[in-house]
Amino acid sequence: MWFVIIMVIILIGALYETYAQGGKNTPGEFYLGDVWFQAVKSGTKTVDIRAGNNTMVLEYEGKEITFFHKKDKIKVKVKKIVKYDSVADLIKKENALHISPQFSTKEEAEKNLKEFYTSEKVKDMGGLLAIHF
């Protein structure tokens, strides 16, 4: 009996976290982890990367979108969206510190992007979208 109760509590907690972190897919709203959300809020992060070839995201160019973390939200106006087929292409054109401002050098930010978005991962997902705001 206790096992069932504990499993239900774990399931409810997991569902809450899924919802709080973007499980409810509302058009025009994008989840960000705390570090990146705070960077958007402070104005140091001006480009967000979304993996995949999501043509729906392209519809937001010139419009407002909302980034959220837990219950906090911030609206930004999308200036442009650029599609890249690889991280190497992205790094050639974008300033990595605008994507990952928590790093102290551009080289550290680029290294982090390469580690997170491996070539195989990017290929499997259909590329990367750089959302400028």
Q: Kindly give the confidence (pLDDT) of every residue in the chain, 133 residues in length, as a single tens digit, with 9 standing for 90 and above.
A: 553 454 445 445 444 444 444 455 688 999 999 999 999 999 999 999 998 877 788 899 999 999 999 999 999 999 999 999 999 999 999 999 999 999 999 999 999 999 999 999 999 999 999 999 9
Q: Please list, in sequence order, all residues whose beta carbon lies within 8 angstroms of the beta carbon of residue 48, skipping any fewer than 6 positions away.
A: 30, 32, 36, 40, 67, 99, 130, 131, 133
Q: Where are the domains of the chain?
A: 26-132
CB 133 within 8 A of CB 48: yes
Give CA–CA dist 92/43, Å, rounded: 23
Its pTM stands at: 0.78
Q: Positive or negative CA dihedral for 9, 14, 16, 17?
A: positive
What confidence score (pLDDT) does residue 44 get? Answer: 97
**What is the CATH superfamily name and number for domain 26-132?**
Hypothetical protein. (2.30.130.30)
List, in sequence order, every beta strand (DSSP E) within 1-133. Answer: 29-31, 47-51, 64-69, 72-77, 80-84, 128-132
Give CA–CA dist 106/88, Å, rounded: 14
